[in-house]
Amino acid sequence: MICKIRKFPALCAILIASIANAQGDQRLLLEVDTPIVNIEERGATQNFVRLPALEYAFRISAVCTGESKPASLLLSVADTRRSLQADEIDADGATAISLNIPAGQLAPVVVRNFCVQTEIESDDNAANNVPQEEQLTLPATLSVQASLRCASETTEQTVYMSKPLDITLICEQIPASLSQR
């Protein structure tokens, strides 16, 4: 369909909206908790951080319309997949799923100027040192792909979605008395 936007921009928006509604109102909504990773102070030249296994907790709202009911739900992060069948999906509320992503599936992340060891020359200079940030959120480090299959006796539709996943790093600073040894 081609709309002449110069003459009828509002009509184009209505036509596009009605096409979207004609495909059905199946919805797949995803909420996710950001995992927190504790890392130790590292040398100033170490820009890469290897991540441990990560656990993501998802709350999924799967809505099928008409006579369709959720038939299956698939979540995928990195090489980890979890599939739910119809009897495992809460069609009236939120379905809770957690995925544990092994460290071997995660690439090292580049982190500069965060949680870097600093040398303290004397107690006089220690008072002048500015404390480092203790927390850093890495946006869109991974992504989750999800698909919901809605089925009735006569039809079947699949809804797809993708969402970026964040990771929060917490710096575990080594006490000055231990770092000078």
pLDDT in tens, 105-154: 999 999 988 998 876 544 554 444 545 568 999 999 999 999 999 999 99
Contacts of 36 (CB under 8 A, 6+ apart): 168, 169, 170
Q: What's the rounded Cα separation, in Å, for the pair 165 and 163?
A: 7
Digitized pLDDT (tens) for each residue of the chain, 181 residues in all: 344 444 444 433 333 333 333 345 778 999 999 999 999 998 888 889 999 999 999 999 999 988 999 999 999 999 999 999 999 998 777 899 999 999 999 999 999 889 988 765 445 544 445 455 689 999 999 999 999 999 999 999 999 999 999 999 999 876 655 545 4
Query: What is the SS3 assignment for 56-67?
Result: EEEEEEEECCCC
Q: What's the rounded Cα separation, in Å, for the pair 54 and 52?
A: 6
pTM for this predicted structure: 0.74
**What is the domain partition of the chain in residue ranges?**
24-179
Spatial contact of 150 and 156, defined as CB atoms under 8 Å apart = yes
Q: Quick one: which of 170, 155, 169 has its CA closest to 26?
A: 155
